[in-house]
Structure 1
Amino acid sequence: MIVLGLTGSIGMGKSTAAAMLRRLGCPVHDSDAAVHRLYARGGAAVPVVAALFPDAVRNGAVDRAALSAHVVGRPEALRRLEAAVHPLVRADADRFLRRAARRKARVAVLDIPLLFESRGEGRVDRIAVVSAPASVQRARVLARPGMTPAKLAAILALQMPDREKRRRADFVVPTGLGRRHTLIALTRIVRVLGMERGRIWPPRGYRPPAPSRGVRPPRTPGRT
């Protein structure tokens, strides 16, 4: 199984690309969605965040706005949060890969917004970066509710420049020319990866789950 890392800076169209990859038959693990689950009531990250920023947890769930106030513009606080939460997200991704392997997926996708920034290259076989012109990126992001030029600047300051991501990528997926061009690029990538052999999965030392004990095989007709 090939593990493809999908990444890109804010506003570059990664969510659209992920949806297209699902349509092409690739299972996709969404890191942002995993964080939302971990931050929800009963989520594994709730007590972790509470230990770091007690007032960021309300009614048994992480208040993302309150948490953001603690870490935006505060690199040390952000590093402490990431060090605590990233292992939980990675464990969720590992469970996803095990499920994808059992279903015999040829290509499984890890959608990781900060793949390069978190030094996650070693977790994937290949990397696809979504990219669009800076003017398109800016217009997309500023159209989001509550977004301001100052907030965008703060977010971009934490992200690797798009040109560097494109330089490091195995594939660059254009998202500023319309959905058709994006889908064509992704279709080609999936076709190429379908002919390759993965090196990430299964990991070294991995053993598939043993069959459940106590379950007798189905009886063959004609035998006693």
Structure 2
Amino acid sequence: METIRNRSGDSGYCKIAVTGGIGSGKSTVCEEIARLGYSVFSCDEIYAEMLGEPDFAAAMEILFPGSTSGGRVNKKELLKIILRNEKATETLNAFTHPKIMARLFERMDEAAKQTLDARSANSATVIENPWLVPVFAEVPLLFESKSDGLFDKIIVVTRNETEKIRSVIVRDGCKENVVKVKMALQFDYSLPPDKKNYPSYDKIIFLENNGSKNQLKSKLIKILQKI
């Protein structure tokens, strides 16, 4: 199938990133998007795959001695190294993010192609606006990795700090001080939502997650109806 180009001259479909701070509810949002029938991919899942790949682990051992065991990256040991050395986070992101994003877009491109092929096969009319085919990606470090420019739209999930901390403690079984250290290493989503604080502000749709799960779903559906 010949590549169909969208209005920005890129790959022919609408690439939507879902991001937000740790504990904001990004995964919950993406699970609901997938439940509604959309294609959704996860940078965390891709990273988890890479951690078990021997070539990737070998490179990580060179960059972060002691971070691997048995031919795979040990996440707990890697976290200890990162928490001890602030520059280690920069090194990790610089090495891993290009690899993650390359694999992510391969999968997003293929999902969009399959959707367009299926629609073409089941329709007598030509799809004149492939832009209407949205493909989603959960990208936790979107702004930190300066990947915001690679997407057409961005859903930023926001949540108050108390709830974020509580959520991560319950999910990961860690202590509050560990959560706060992780939060300090990320983009500050508590900043006012304006152009000064948010890169690619014109692409962003903010999704507040300070209520119940049903309230979050209701807000999400309204957003999806406008995309």
TM range, normalised to the smaller chain?
0.7 to 0.9
| TM-fit CA distance, 1:73 | 4.0
Does the Cα contact within 8 Å between 1:4 and 1:109 map onto a contact in 2? yes
Alpha-carbon RMSD: 1.8
Alignment of 1:145-164 (within 5 A): 145-164=172-191
User: Which amino acid is the alignment partner of residue 46 of structure 1?
Assistant: A
| TM-fit CA distance, 1:189 | 1.9
| TM-fit CA distance, 1:174 | 2.2
| TM-fit CA distance, 1:84 | 1.3
User: What's 1:171 paired with?
Assistant: 205
Alignment of 1:26-175 (within 5 A): 26-42=38-54, 44-104=55-115, 106-164=133-191, 166-167=193-194, 168=198, 170-175=204-209
Aligned length: 192
User: Which amino acid is the alignment partner of residue 87 of structure 1?
Assistant: P
5+ residue gaps, structure 1: 194-224
| TM-fit CA distance, 1:128 | 0.6
1:10-68, CA deviations, whole angstroms, 9 ceiling, x for partnerless residues?
111111001001012221111111110000144x5212202212321111111111111
- Runs of 4+ displaced beyond 4 Å: none
| TM-fit CA distance, 1:135 | 2.2
User: What's 1:181 paired with?
Assistant: 215
**Among the aligned pairs, what percent are the same residue?**
24
SS state of the match for residue 173, structure 1? strand
Does the Cα contact within 8 Å between 2:15 and 2:135 map onto a contact in 1? yes
After the TM superposition, which of the residue ranges 153-162 and 58-67 deviates more from structure 2?
A: 153-162
Does the Cα contact within 8 Å between 2:165 and 2:180 map onto a contact in 1? no
5+ residue gaps, structure 2: 1-12, 117-132
User: Which amino acid is the alignment partner of residue 109 of structure 1?
Assistant: F
After the TM superposition, which of the residue ranges 139-148 and 60-69 deviates more from structure 2?
A: 139-148
User: Which amino acid is the alignment partner of residue 172 of structure 1?
Assistant: F
